[in-house]
Amino acid sequence: MYIRRPLRPLRRTRSRAAHLPPGTPGVRPLAAPWSLRVGGTLLAGAALLVSACSAGPRTEPAGSTASTAAVALAALPRATPSGLSSYYGQKLKWRDCGVPGFQCATMKAPLDYADPAAGDVSLAVSRKKATGPGERLGSLLVNPGGPGGSAVGYLQQYAGIGYPAQVRARYDMVAVDPRGVARSEPVVCLDGKEMDTYTQTDVTPDDRREQAGLVDAYKEFAEGCGSRAAGTLRHVSTVEAARDMDILRAALGDKKLTYVGASYGTFLGATYAGLFPQRVGRVVLDGAMDPSLPARRTNLDQTAGFETAFQSFAKDCVRHSDCALGDKNTTPAKVGDNLRAFFKKLDAHPIPAGDADGRKLGEALATTGVIAAMYDESAWPQLRESLTSAMRENDGAGLLVLSDSYYERDAGGRYSNLMSANAAVNCLDLPAAYDTPDQVREAVPDFEKASPVFGEGLAWASLSCAYWPVRATGEPHRIEAKGAAPIVVVGTTRDPATPYRWAQSLSRQLSSAHLLTYEGDGHTAYGRGSSCIDSAINTYLLRGTPPARGKRCS
C-alpha dihedral sign at 520, 522, 525, 526:
negative
286 noted as active-site residue: no
Task: List the catalytic residue out of 67, 263, 389, 462.
Answer: 263
Quickly count: other Cβ atoms within 10 Å of residue 75's Cβ.
17
Cα(178)–Cα(261) distance, integer angstroms: 13
CA distances from 360 to 74, 83, 355, 357, 399 (A): 49, 54, 7, 9, 11
Task: List the catalytic residue out of 395, 451, 523, 530.
Answer: 523
Task: List the catalytic residue out of 254, 301, 404, 495.
Answer: 495
Q: Which residues fall within 8 angstroms of residue 519, CB to CB, at 6 or more apart? A: 493, 552, 553, 554
Cα(10)–Cα(382) distance, integer angstroms: 8
3-state helix/strand/coil string of 485-541 = CCEEEEEEEECCCCCHHHHHHHHHHCCCEEEEEEEEECCCCCCCCCHHHHHHHHHHH
DSSP 107-129: EEEES-TT-GGG-EEEEEEEEE-
Q: Quote the radius of gyration of the chain (alpha carbons, Å).
A: 22
523 noted as active-site residue: yes
Alpha helices by DSSP H, 103-237: 151-154, 160-162, 165-170, 192-199, 208-228
Cα(534)–Cα(35) distance, integer angstroms: 18
As separate numbers, helices (DSSP H) first and strands (DSSP E) second, the chain gives 19, 16
CA distances from 190 to 322, 423, 457 (A): 39, 12, 22
Judge whether 25 and 38 are in contact, CB under 8 Å: yes
Amino acid identity, position 192: G
CA distances from 399 to 128, 348, 367, 411 (A): 36, 17, 9, 15
Quickly count: other Cβ atoms within 10 Å of residue 77's Cβ.
6
Tell me the three state secondary structure of residue 415. strand
263 noted as active-site residue: yes
Q: Active-site residue numbers?
A: 263, 495, 523
